Amino acid sequence: MPRFIIDGREIEFKQGQTIIEAAANYGIDIPHFCWHPKLSVSGNCRMCLVEVEKMPKLVIACSTIASEGMVVHTHSEKSIAARNAVIEFFLINHPLDCPICDEAGECKLQDYAYQHSVGESRFVEEKVHKDKRIPLGPRVLFDGERCISCSRCIRFCDEIAKDSELTFVQRGDRVTITTFPGEELDNPYSMNVVDICPVGALTNRDFRFQARVWDMSHTNTICNGCARGCNTEIWVRDNKILRLVPRYNEEVNSYWMCDHGRLNTFKFVNADDRVDGPHLRVEGNLVKVGWDEAFAQTASRLKSFAKDEIAIIGSPYTTCEDNFMIAKFAKSVLGTGNLDFIRHIDPEFGDDILRKDDVTPNTLGAELTGIAPSKNGKDYSNIIKGIREGKIKALYLIEDDLLDYDSHLEELIAKLDLFIVNASNFNKSTTLADIVLPSATYAEKNGTFVNFQGRLQRIKAAVATIDADRALEGMSMSRLDKFGTKFDRWASGKKFDSRATWKILAGLSAALGQKYKYQMAEEVFADLGKSVSVFKDLDYDVIGDSGVQLKINVNELTAKV
């Protein structure tokens, strides 16, 4: 491969790469505003000016093609002086509102101003004033005074979202951004412009003024909004999720995520309708009880049915670890082969960018871990038929809402002798349940999902539960780090009495006379690796933050869908 020298370091590059692209591949950061690795080059901020030997003047690294033998200086006197001048130019009209700006703490202009500014302005005239707090669409606000006209948002809409909604208007220092006549910024990916805006010009209307970034913890996880499994970060303050942002993974979602995943996949975690502790139906009402009583009552009632009279419906919303335990509980503890899960397909949701028709995060994971009827067992349609015929008398529904999926089943479900529901939030199904056991949400537990491509990815606990506090008590910091936990167990904020489904079923199994020695999700995953060949030789360290591709025939597994 060809090579060139940058700041005394020789690096390789691919033909056609620009200086800034080649440098980024080696972890060399050249200051920039308008350049983004997934957008076209605009070259209008001039922040990436560098000195190249034998060239008569400074060049912008974002659009200058690297060539063999080129010698580049990013920290020469000329480069630094040019960068300082660019920053001074930007700050002439930029408002001094860092104390109230949502971007503070993750703002490129703020960072570069510290690095390339003398700390005072020579400009003594009145700053140019522009419109502020302008709703460009239902989810994004625009502050014209903060905008540095980098055009990232315009190019994103044109090139990634495939919906040209934004444009520049006016000239010179009066230039600003607006929507085209009759348009608004409402494409399904509109909030990505907030992420890529290098300053605080574009802000998230849902998160605006909620918290400072340094007051929150952030945890790497996976979006549960569809089968894509976008890599994300959960940002938490006082044990409450305040925002989700995309996390780079070129194999899955690149730098992006959809607005649905960003806004509609986390608010249930701290909602008022959370199931906080086990509940038993007493004289027609659900009454909160302790875990020991819930396990004893549930086990006692399950023992009163024949194996063929019990059915379990697993979940594509929960983890591989949970579903593996569901399969073990059904087939080994209860001895029933009546086992399946509901496939949630919405043809109107998917698109050709990121969103998939399968609106659950772990359909493939549920299939791979054994959520399927045994040879003589019943699948979903036959379970419903069995209830109708009176052959299925006890149903255990796990992390799904059967009545939301099919409201016509209400009268049928009401005829069951026993209806048990594992749920994180009260829903239509829990209104008919005899026993409700509180499941931890995806943000409160560790585990894995398998996306539509067959990629195995990790979720990590970002929000504490009462059970997590007990489990982590006395754990060393190195162990906490491996566990993947970044939440502050002593932070203020409500903690719910919920448990991961695998842990609930382990407790219930013990009450039924069969003990499992699992203490952590990774121990369940280790057993999964011994039992299911596609997970062999994998562990949480191998999966890492980027995931691993399983050796499976995805088309064959999704044939049912």
pLDDT digits (tens, 9 = 90+) for 446-470: 999 999 999 999 999 999 999 876 5
Question: Counting every residue, how long is the chain?
Answer: 561
Give the pLDDT score at 399. Answer: 98
Q: According to the model, what pLDDT value does residue 96 have?
A: 87
The distance from CA 488 to its chain's CA centroid, rounded to whole angstroms, is 20
pLDDT at 394: 98
Query: 269 lies in a domain?
Result: no
First to last CA, the chain: 45
pLDDT at 545: 95
Task: Give the closest residue to 510 by CA, choosing from 238, 359, 325, 364.
Answer: 325
pLDDT of residue 124: 85
- pLDDT tens digit sequence for 88-144: 999 999 998 999 999 999 999 999 999 887 778 888 889 999 999 999 999 999 999
Is the residue at 259 inside a domain?
A: no
Q: Helix, strand or coil for residue 243?
A: strand
Q: Give the pLDDT score at 116.
A: 86
Rg value, the chain, Cα: 27
Q: Specify if 402 maps to a domain.
A: yes
Residue 405 in domain: yes
Q: What's the helix, strand, coil split of the chain in %, to 5?
A: 30, 20, 50
- pLDDT at position 245 over 50: yes
Tokens of 384: 């419903």
CA distances from 186 to 142, 157, 190, 225, 354 (A): 14, 10, 6, 19, 16
Say how many C-beta atoms besides its own lie within 10 A of residue 537's C-beta. 7
- β-pairing, 339-341 vs 394-398, is unpaired
User: How many structural domains compose the chain?
Assistant: 2
Domain stop point among 67, 91, 115: 91
Domain of 383, CATH number, reads 3.40.50.740
For residues 157 and 164, what is the distance between their CA atoms, to the nearest angstrom? 5
Work out the percent of the chain whose per-residue pLDDT is above 90: 89
Residue 217 lies in a domain: no
* Residue 250 burial (CB count, 10 A): 11
Tokens of 374: 């045994």
Which of these three, 69, 91, 113, is where a domain ends? Answer: 91
Euclidean distance between CA atoms 328 and 312, whole angstroms? 11
Q: Report if residue 166 sits inside a domain.
A: no
Q: Which residues pair with 135 in a beta bridge?
A: 141
Residues 246 and 253: their CA atoms lie apart, in Å, by 8
Apex 323 CA angle, 317 and 328, nearest 5: 160
Domain presence at residue 171: no
Residue 360: domain span: 279-560
Q: Which two tokens stand for residue 51?
A: 């000195």
What does the pLDDT look like over 485-499, one tens digit per residue? Answer: 555 544 568 899 999
Domain-terminating residue out of 59, 91, 123:
91
- Which two tokens mark 314? 């697993």
Res 489: pLDDT: 47
In sequence order, what are the beta bridge partners of 232? 221, 246
Residue 535 lies in a domain: yes
Question: Are 106 and 245 within 8 A, CB to CB?
Answer: no
Span 399-428, mean pLDDT? 96
